[in-house]
Every structure is written in structure tokens, then in C-alpha cells.
Amino acid sequence: MKKYVRPLLYGLLALLVLAQLYRPTRNLSNDQTSHVTTKYPVPAEVEAILKPACYDCHSNLTAYPWYAEIQPVASWLAGHVDEGKRKLNFSTLTKRSIAVQNHKFEEIIEMVKEGEMPLNSYTWTHGDARLSEQQRQTLVDWAQANMDSLSANYPADSLVMKRK
């Protein structure tokens, strides 16, 4: 071993140990006051897809796996949850404007059709989030039905996102 290798390894080990002291805030508020189900019908077969495949990153309640305790994985996962929730939060969806709600359903259709959601890395450890073609179609149809009901019940211009 070269002389500097051992101190370097110890240094890295110390960093890894220190990193464990940093605990990202957990997404456990479970505030569901404006959950998607308060306004839209969510049939059991849709909930059976959303819950295992989407809610961990897109709601106010994440079911954390044991390895979420360990850094640097903890920070990596926390980043996904933060960013996921910022883009789409099923727990707060119905307090957003009608245009935003409409747009979120549109994005869900896009992401699910293209196979971009759920995040690929998530499905390595969450087998029940690997969606079949039929499950994808169920989600797409559900989001489309919600868009249809919005356009039947609200004036067209209230469904358009205003550009700033």
C-alpha cells in the first residue's frame, strides 16, 4: 500500500460516519386535507396503482424503507421526495387552481405513457411499482376522465394555465 492510501481510507470512513449525523426531514405530515380523493373519484384499482407506485414521492406521506436511514442514500431519497412533491402532490392537489389541476392530470398522462414515471431507480427496490401496460392504461384513462369532467364543468378559459 502506498503511504497515503491508509490515511485517505480512514478519512473517507470518518466522513461516512459523520454523514450519518445529518438527518433530512422526513415526509410524514400525512396532511391529506386537499387530497385528490376529496374532489375526484379514485376507484380501488387506481388507488392500488397510485399507492405503491406514486405516493412515496408525490404525497404528504412516504413509507420509508430501512435503507433510508443510511447516508448518503437518505439524502438521495429525500431529494426525490422534495422534488417530486414540488412538481406534483396528490395530498394538496385540490387546493391548487383548476387550471393547475387540469395541467397536472395532463402531465400524469404524458409521464405514464412515456414510461418516465415512476422513477426507474424506484422500481429496483419496489417491485409493485413496476407497472404493466394495463396498469399504465388504467392510470391514463383515469387522468383523462378527470380532465373530461373538468372541461364539462368549468369554462374553457379557467382550464388554461396563464403564462406570466
Binding to ligand HEC (CB under 6 A) within 47-76 occurs at 53-54, 56-58
Q: List the grid coordinates of 78.
A: 429525500
Query: Stretches 8-16, 24-32, 65-73, 117-125: which one binds ligand HEC (CB under 6 A)?
Result: 117-125
What is the nearest approach in angstroms of ligand HEC to the Cβ of residue 98? 16
Q: Would you give the end-to-end CA distance of the chain in angstroms?
A: 61
Residue 111 engages ligand HEC in binding (rule: CB under 6 A): yes
Query: Stretches 2-10, 25-33, 108-116, 155-163: which one binds ligand HEC (CB under 6 A)?
Result: 108-116
Q: How far is 135 from 155, CA to CA, in rounded Å?
A: 31
Within 8 A by CB and 6+ apart from 162, the residues are 99
C-alpha 51: how far from chain center: 10
* Site of interaction with ligand HEC (CB under 6 A): 53-54, 56-58, 80, 83-84, 87-88, 107-108, 111-112, 117-119, 122
